Amino acid sequence: MDPLRLDGACFGYGSHRVLHDVSFSVQAGEFLAIVGPNGCGKSTTLRLLAGLERPDAGRVLVMGREAASYSRRAFARHVALLTQGVGVPPALVARDMVAMGRHARQGFLNRRSREDDAAIDRALEEMEVADLAHRRMGELSGGQVQRMRMAMVLAQGGDVLLLDEPTTFLDLRHQYGLLRRARRAAREGRAVVAVLHDFTQASLYADRILLMHEGRVAGHGTPGGVLTETAIHRVFGVRTRGVQMGGAVFHIPAEP
């Protein structure tokens, strides 16, 4: 049983069709990167996987069940979502925000257990923000806030990790650090899906690439097999020269 599956998913806002018959699955232990131009449906696809939207046609399956059949609390025990940057209360203490990731696993009185505290502390250490845990969110830089938000979804746990443009606001070191942690989550047995803009980073860290174009799947497979010069020209309308090195795929303009 695949933790995540889209079967023939279609979705639109009113008369505007955003997704057309999108199908793919993600296995436990796998990191899938979704790439494509702005407006091609990447984030909408992630919203379907996260249960924030329902398809007009087709199915979204999480752990073999229709996503819509879960209560929000039960769903959150399986699926953790890092959304694109959103505002956080500036007076909120950073560790308390990370602790919010544990709410779905707490009892009726929402009391933190030793397991909760251990998961929170571990996530803070992994994202290298433990020294900021007692600061208020309004005191942190954009990059520090993003790492705290990643710590929150790591603390949440579950079978599936969804990341929507997770490297936003991060400098290069912390971009690599976050993607390494996402890949490790896959190696630990989670199904990981990330919307990314950087092809090279996607090819370095993801096991498979889903290339989208105008709401459809334009390519699906290994980074080297999907991120070809032909595919980049067809989807983005630019001619490039592709170079593969150590598993990474680089594209440079054919005419700088």
What CATH number did the domain enclosing 214 receive? 3.40.50.300
Q: What is the DSSP letter of 85?
A: P
- Domain residues for the domain of 89 are 4-253
Phi, psi (5° rounding) for residue 121?
-65, -40
> Which residue blocks in the chain are alpha helix, DSSP H?
42-49, 72-78, 94-99, 114-126, 142-156, 172-187, 199-205, 223-226, 229-236
User: What helix, strand, coil percent values describe the chain, rounded to 5?
Assistant: 40, 30, 30
Which residues of the chain register pLDDT less than 70? 107-110
User: Does this model's pTM top 0.85?
Assistant: yes
Pairing of β 4-13 and β 16-26 = antiparallel
**pLDDT digit string, tens, across residues 236-251:** 999 999 999 888 999 9
Q: Which residue has the tokens 């997704």?
A: 19
Q: What is the pLDDT of residue 109?
A: 57
Q: What is the pLDDT of residue 108?
A: 54
Q: What is the pLDDT of residue 99?
A: 95
Give buried/exposed letters for 143-165 (b at 16+ CB in 10 A, else e): bbbbbbbbbbbbbbbbbbbbbbb
Domains: count for the chain: 1
Q: What is the pLDDT of residue 188?
A: 96
Q: What is the pLDDT of residue 107?
A: 60
Rounded CA separation 154/166 (Å): 13
Over the chain, what is the mean pLDDT?
Answer: 94
Q: What is the pLDDT of residue 62?
A: 97
